[in-house]
Amino acid sequence: MQATIRTILVIYKADHAKARAMAWTVADWLAARGLTVLLRENLPEARNAVLPAGAVLATPPQLALILGGDGTMLSAARQAVAEGVPVLGINLGRVGFMTSAGLDDWQEVLADILQNGFTEARRIMIDVAVIRACQTAYRTTALNDAVISRGAMARLAAFDVTLGDVDVCTLRADGVVISTPTGSTAYCVSAGGPLIYPGLDVLCVVPICPFLSDFKPVVVPADSPVRLALSAPETNMYLTCDGQELFPLDDNDEVVVTKSPRCLRLATRAGDSYFGRLRLKGFINRP
């Protein structure tokens, strides 16, 4: 449990009037309770606005509120706009699996956190690199997943799969998902992969529509690099990270996924339940 919360950073969805208005509503509510509030649009170059006017920031924020949906949470994590600060999401989107509050209960949730504090949970992130002709052609960091998938042509791709230091197989498929536990409720489960408890230090490799292959979704230690080398010509493949960055792949490119030294720090309340959230969002149905 953390020390008393005195400063809160509020990050709101970029170019979204509803999120901006909601951010000021939340900031006013917090300021009325004696907190210093930093407001920031979810853009790398955005500056902070400080409430109350003229307030002196004595310490870094103890908590960051992310106003938007899962996409805003992913973007904020990837851009590191709240680096080193525990985050809590207020859902303005649709599914909001990563968020802890919504438009109907944010005051109740924040009041509870201000009074009783929160517990921090850490979620692993991945570094994703594309190696082309022995050079790094692309590099990024993701929270949910890295997905290799085909473009407009309905043509199978072939991947030489290496897990850790073991050459596993050559896989023919429409693509491959490499997911963190956090991302297991996204494309991973839609492609037939498992739900993975978020605190585990693992990655999941899931083929998309494999062809004549016994390769099943596999969970590996996060410290074991995942390497996928394209081995079929003219397959028109793309790498997508967290559904937010797209990079075109060339024949013979190698995609390397490793555990990042960065992580997402999530603020959780007492009584928060992963399986309760799965039921709430429709992943598990009660009998």
Q: How far apart are CA 162 and CA 234, in angstroms?
A: 22
In a shared domain, residues 63 and 133: no
Asked if residue 202 and residue 110 are part of one domain, the reply reads no
Q: Of 28, 70, 105, 242, which is the active-site residue?
A: 70
Contact indicator for 50, 57 with CB cutoff of 8 Å: yes
Tokens 């297991």 belong to which residue? 184
The answer to whether residues 112 and 202 belong to one domain is no
Q: What percent of the chain has pLDDT over 70?
A: 92
Convert the pLDDT of each residue in 130-140 to its tens digit.
999 999 999 99
Residues 183 and 215 in one domain: yes
Regarding whether 104 and 12 lie in a shared domain, the answer is yes
Which residue type occupies 244?
Q
Q: Residue 157's closest CA among 142, 174, 135?
A: 174
One domain for residues 175 and 208: yes
Q: What is the pLDDT of residue 96?
A: 66
Q: Which residues contact 275 (CB under 8 A, 6 or more apart)?
A: 284
249 shares its domain with 148: yes
Q: Which residue range(s) make up the domain with 34?
A: 7-118+269-280
- Tokens 């692993």 belong to residue: 124
Domain count, the chain: 2
Bigger pLDDT: 33 vs 282: 33
- The answer to whether residue 174 is catalytic is no
Residue 286 lies in a domain: no
Indicate whether 287 pLDDT > 70: no
- Report phi then psi at 115, rounded to 5: -85, -40
Evaluate whether residue 21 is within a structural domain.
yes
What residues are paired with 202 via a beta bridge? 221
Tens of pLDDT, residue by residue over 140-174, are 999 999 999 987 666 788 899 999 999 999 999 99
Which CATH number characterizes residue 249's domain? 2.60.200.30
Residue found under tokens 């605190």: 199
pLDDT at 1 over 60: no
Residue 279 pLDDT level (bands cut at 50, 70, 90): confident
In a domain, 287, yes or no: no
